[in-house]
Amino acid sequence: MQQSRLLPSAFAAALLAGCAGPATRADAPAVAIVAPPAVQPPAPMPAPPTSPPMGAELAQLERLAPDADPGVLALALEARACAVRNGTVDPASRLAVIDYSRPSTAKRLWVFDLAQPRLLHHEHVAHGQGTGDNLARRFSNADGSHATSLGLFRTAETYMGGNGYSLRMDGLDPGFNDNARRRAIVVHGADYAEPSRIPALGRLGRSHGCPAVRRSVARVLIDDLKQRQLLFAYADDADFLRRGRSFACDGRSAGQILAQAREAARRGGLPQDAVAAP
């Protein structure tokens, strides 16, 4: 009788030696060994989603606001992306951007409808008395500072107050603007925010920290921004830009985002392979 072939595996050899003894005779019955099924490794977990697009949306905003700093627009979009990802706002939320690195004599407020997309407003906006004269230099989250706060705000309800029709906001950046509601930092209209004041003062008038706009546009602008939209306030402030946590959901710093967007704008647009899909 021809000798049977045994499964050449450590598992088979160990089983034969330990249970049946060695097979020494040609006519010794072969022990059929069934190899255990291969264990399939678990399927890899999908990678966490990257931040929504800085490329496609940034290009849209640059077309709508060609005089805006593309780096500031990119930071605003990254902050918005994290808020959408965390469920803080709806993906269709509107976005207001204020660039306080510009003087108050310049139009430095833009309001975007990203769902369309379109530019809804481009306006002058006042900063706080504690923040500076024409140039915004000091920022605070503290009560009584009369200073402007930086970061991402979520808009809330409207009300009629001492400055007329006004819009409450909640600050989403701990340590930088999360006292906004307690400080009554709201969007409102004001006579001192009229650009006609600039020739006499050499600057716009100043608030107690609120982003105040001219009265004739205040109601429409507030209605466009009320109820869980976003406002992003930027300045070249070292503390804000080097804050401990990463600026973007994917871990990039403010400096990286600013540099990438500005360099891409200088070269004529972001490379498509650096853009995440919506």
Cβ neighbours, 10 Å, residue 1:
7
Tell me the per-residue pLDDT of 14-60, one tens digit each, with 9 for 90 and over.
Answer: 333 333 333 333 333 444 444 455 555 554 444 333 444 468 899 99
Question: What was the pLDDT predicted at 22?
Answer: 38
User: What average pLDDT does range 93-119 have in this prediction?
Assistant: 97
Burial class (CB in 10 A: 0-12, 13-18, 19+), 128: buried
Question: What was the pLDDT predicted at 33?
Answer: 47
Tell me the per-residue pLDDT of 52-94, one tens digit each, with 9 for 90 and over.
Answer: 446 889 999 999 999 999 999 999 999 999 999 999 999 999 9
> Which among 149, 167, 173 is positioned nearest to 86, based on CA atoms?
173
Question: What was the pLDDT predicted at 37?
Answer: 52
Tell me the per-residue pLDDT of 250-268, one tens digit each, with 9 for 90 and over.
Answer: 888 898 999 999 999 988 8
What domains lie within the chain, and their CATH numbers? 1-39 (no CATH), 55-267 (2.40.440.10)
To the question of pTM greater than 0.95 for the whole model, the response is no
3-state secondary structure the chain: CCCCCCCCCHHHHHHHHHHHCCCCCCCCCCCCCCCCCCCCCCCCCCCCCCCCCCHHHHHHHHHHCCCCCHHHHHHHHHHHHHHHHCCCCCCCCCEEEEECCCCCCCCCEEEEECCCCEEEEEECCCCEHHHCCCCCCCECCCCCCCCECCEEEEEEEEEEECCEEEEEEEECCCCCCCCHHHHCCEEEECHHHCHHHHHHHCCCCCECCCCEECHHHHHHHHHHHCCCCEEEEECCCHHHHCCCCCCCCCCCCHHHHHHHHHHHHHHCCCCHHHCCCC
Average predicted confidence (pLDDT) for the chain: 83
